[in-house]
């Protein structure tokens, strides 16, 4: 496959992923974080709200982040190959991860608590140990880290079942109201709260997601080397992969969702289903999404819509951080102050508007400039010089 076509497939996939992440994060932007896990806690106890939670649980939660991780792994491999061809080795990548971590830290403290950039930077360092492996070795390594993550989450699950006191990590009403009051307040106390939680949040992020994230990154490198992410497979193979993986993932995920509903969204059952028990099924569903999207990208590669999606992917860093800025301004007290006031169903009305914004600005910007604003900043920091923003 030609380089331009290969990059189009990766850019378009990244564009779909950064748009899909909004479906994941909209609840965390707009209401207490535990409401993301358990719909009974906040956002309306209605059949419609529960149905929205179930759809998100089965098709979106963890899968969009998984897609993003696949693409991060693939992009890291491409950058390594380019750097190695120029005799730079790992130096450029280490600088990329260093600055990504610092930019993620700024994002976490000053914009939004749900930052994933620091996690990607840390996982990326370990990822470099595998860049020379073949696809089968990468698959084995990915499975190993998925198993480690599942073991860690299983241990935490058993510990929770044995020791829970009935107020799982902020699920009591007083804690939820305190969270709403904080985020409806002024900017200063919100930043102060994040600083207070910084050194506890980072280890928890690694414990709950670190091995899984590394596993998806390794899988992404293997999928790039095997031709999956370059569009080298034929349409029938992508569709067959999607069908098989949807079957492997959707049926057990639907079973977990039914169990949560039948339990009345008991906090132990629901927490464990979302965080740990769904992990083995998130993996095939992420692959299914990737296969279906690759089929769509190849099918509609020449359309204006797909060019706009690819442009959103080329500016994914800016779109990701920009989403955080827009959403926190919309929901937090220093903006429009809608935090905790919009129910779980209605809040999704914001999502298409944000998608439209991504699709509208990204392509015209890239016709004038080489990189998105945050892509340019990151690149300039890595290169230790101001990179030219306008085309030569």
- Residue 294: half-sphere exposure toward Cβ, Cα within 13 Å: 30
- Residue 74: half-sphere exposure toward Cβ, Cα within 13 Å: 25
Extract the tokens encoding 375.
């892509």
Answer yes or no: is pLDDT of 66 > 70: yes
Q: Give the Cα separation of 256 and 269 in Å (integer).
A: 9
DSSP state of 20: H
Extract the tokens encoding 229.
């992410």
Q: Give the Cα separation of 171 and 40 in Å (integer).
A: 10
Q: Which residue has the tokens 């930077």?
A: 121
Could you tell me which residues come within 8 angstroms of residue 5 by beta carbon, excluding any fewer than 6 positions away? Answer: 230, 231, 301
Answer yes or no: is pLDDT of 3 > 50: no
Length of the chain, please?
392
Q: Give the Cα separation of 284 and 287 in Å (integer).
A: 5
pLDDT tens sequence across 90-133: 988 999 999 999 999 999 999 999 999 999 999 999 999 999 99
What does the pLDDT read at residue 158?
82
Section 164-170 average pLDDT = 49
Which pTM value belongs to this model?
Answer: 0.94
Q: Give the Cα separation of 309 and 286 in Å (integer).
A: 19
Q: How far is CA 251 from CA 110, 255, 258, in A?
A: 40, 6, 11
CB 16 within 8 A of CB 293: yes
DSSP state of 56: I
pLDDT tens sequence across 310-359: 999 999 999 999 999 999 999 999 999 999 999 999 999 999 999 999 99
Whole-angstrom Cα Rg for the chain: 21
| Mean model confidence pLDDT for the chain | 93
Section 221-241 average pLDDT = 95
CB 178 within 8 A of CB 33: no
* Least-confidence region, from 22-31, 42-51, 203-212, 288-297: 42-51
* Least-confidence region, from 31-35, 96-100, 234-238: 31-35
What percent of the chain lies above the pLDDT cut of 70? 96
């Amino acid at each position: 496959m030609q380089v331009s076509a290969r990059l189009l497939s990766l850019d378009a996939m990244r564009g779909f992923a950064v748009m899909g992440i909004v479906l994941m994060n909209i609840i965390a932007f707009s209401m207490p974080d535990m409401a993301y896990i358990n719909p009974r806690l906040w956002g309306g106890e209605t059949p419609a709200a529960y149905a929205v939670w179930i759809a998100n649980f089965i098709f979106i939660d963890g899968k969009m982040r998984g897609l993003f991780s696949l693409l991060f792994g693939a992009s890291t491999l491409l950058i390594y190959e380019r750097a190695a061809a120029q005799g730079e080795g790992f130096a450029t990548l280490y600088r990329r991860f260093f600055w990504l971590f610092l930019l993620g830290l700024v994002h976490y403290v000053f914009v939004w608590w749900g930052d994933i950039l620091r996690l990607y930077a840390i996982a990326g360092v370990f990822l470099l140990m595998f860049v020379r492996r073949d696809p089968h070795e990468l698959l084995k390594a990915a499975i190993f880290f998925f198993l480690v993550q599942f073991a860690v989450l299983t241990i935490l699950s058993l510990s929770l079942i044995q020791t829970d006191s009935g107020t799982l990590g902020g699920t009591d009403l007083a804690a939820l109201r305190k969270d709403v009051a904080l985020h409806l307040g002024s900017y200063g106390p919100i930043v102060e709260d994040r600083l207070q939680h910084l050194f506890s949040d980072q280890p928890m992020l690694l414990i709950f997601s670190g091995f899984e994230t590394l596993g998806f990154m390794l899988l992404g490198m293997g999928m790039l080397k095997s031709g999956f992410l370059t569009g080298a497979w034929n349409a029938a193979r992508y569709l067959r992969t999607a069908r098989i993986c949807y079957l492997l993932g959707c049926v057990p995920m639907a079973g977990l969702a039914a169990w949560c509903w039948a339990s009345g969204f008991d906090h132990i059952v629901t927490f464990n289903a979302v965080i740990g028990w769904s992990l083995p099924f998130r993996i095939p569903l992420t692959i299914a999404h990737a296969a279906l999207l690759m089929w769509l990208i190849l099918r509609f590669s020449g359309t204006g819509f797909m060019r706009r999606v690819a442009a959103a992917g080329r500016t994914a860093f800016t779109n990701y951080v920009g989403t955080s800025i827009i959403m926190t301004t919309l929901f937090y007290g220093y903006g429009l102050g809608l935090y905790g006031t919009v129910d779980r169903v209605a809040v999704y009305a914001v999502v298409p508007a944000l998608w439209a914004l991504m699709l509208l600005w990204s392509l015209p910007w890239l016709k004038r400039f080489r990189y998105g604003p945050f892509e340019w900043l990151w690149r300039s920091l890595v290169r230790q010089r101001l990179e030219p923003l306008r085309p030569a």
